[in-house]
């Protein structure tokens, strides 16, 4: 069971840090009003992450991605922006829709300025959320590499956790007939296995790559007729 208070605290810390760019030393005018309380924004996101159609994209996944971002934070150019992107990256999630990442990015673009995050950092959060459509960060995109590696780290889970992950994904797509699901999932696995590397950060390549490839190959074999 997710610790909601702990997650609220983590969101508030990331939001407060991301707001800091809004305070410019060159600004002489006093702030018009104090920054909004982070709690309502955290609670809105937590409600989204607990929607009933979710089986894998749940608070457990959110917590895991946040943990992996913390693990990889030394590689990021702006870890707190990456943390906010983790919060928003599946905030809109309907398994039968294809525009979840775009809608999640737009949610960030609406919510974060209202919550006091400056425009440049809001734009970076939205860019990172959109990047999770492809999980293909550029070689110099350190923030993107951290978010994508954190999101894909489940692929390197121990056997029981990987089995739970695949079962949860299947449950989210319960409306897809078995044959069609197996065909589609196998195609995704083959695409992943064909990549030169699943992970972009040095830590991900060293710690997760081999196990992830082993898991993907094993799942693909199970799906094969």
pLDDT in tens, 78-131: 999 999 999 999 999 999 998 999 999 999 999 999 999 999 999 999 999 999
Mean local confidence (pLDDT), 42-62: 98
Largest CA distance in the chain: 69
Statement: residue 30 has pLDDT above 50: no
Q: What is the pLDDT of residue 34?
A: 81
> Residues near 169 by Cβ (< 8 Å), separated by ≥ 6?
55, 56, 185
Q: Over 70: is that where the pLDDT of 221 sits? A: yes
Question: Distance of CA 9 to CAs 12, 39, 116, Å?
Answer: 5, 9, 17
Q: Go through the domains of the chain in sequence order and give each one's CATH number.
A: 4-12+38-223 (1.10.3210.10)
Q: In angstroms, what CA-CA distances link 13 with 37, 83, 111, 195? A: 12, 10, 16, 35
Q: What is the pLDDT of residues 188-219, one digit of tens each?
A: 999 999 999 999 999 999 999 999 999 999 99
Place of tokens 């997710």: 2
In this prediction, residue 1 carries a pLDDT of 64
Tens of pLDDT, residue by residue over 156-169, are 999 999 999 999 99
Instruction: Give, in degrees to the nearest 5, the angle at Cα 57 between 217 and 202.
Output: 55
Tokens 């056997």 correspond to 159
């Amino acid at each position: 069971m997710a610790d909601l208070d702990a997650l609220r605290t983590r969101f508030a810390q990331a939001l407060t840090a991301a707001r800091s760019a809004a305070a410019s030393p060159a600004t002489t005018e006093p702030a018009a009003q104090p920054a909004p309380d982070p709690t309502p924004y955290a609670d809105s996101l937590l409600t989204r992450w607990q929607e009933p159609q979710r089986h894998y994209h749940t608070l457990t996944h959110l917590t895991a991605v946040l943990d992996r971002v913390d693990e990889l934070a030394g590689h990021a150019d702006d870890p707190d922006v990456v943390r906010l992107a983790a919060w928003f990256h599946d905030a809109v999630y309907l398994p039968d829709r294809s525009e979840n990442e775009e809608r999640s990015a737009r949610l960030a673009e609406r919510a974060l300025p209202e919550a006091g995050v400056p425009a440049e950092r809001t734009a970076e959060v939205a860019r990172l959320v959109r990047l999770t459509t492809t999980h293909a960060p550029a070689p110099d995109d350190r923030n993107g590499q951290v978010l994508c590696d954190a999101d894909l780290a489940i692929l390197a889970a121990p056997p029981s956790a990987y089995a739970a992950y695949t079962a949860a994904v299947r449950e989210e797509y319960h409306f897809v007939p078995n044959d069609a699901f197996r065909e589609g999932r196998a195609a995704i696995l083959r695409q992943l296995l064909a990549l030169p590397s699943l992970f972009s950060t040095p830590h991900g390549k060293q710690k997760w790559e081999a196990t992830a490839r082993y898991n993907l190959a094993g799942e693909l074999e199970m799906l094969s007729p």
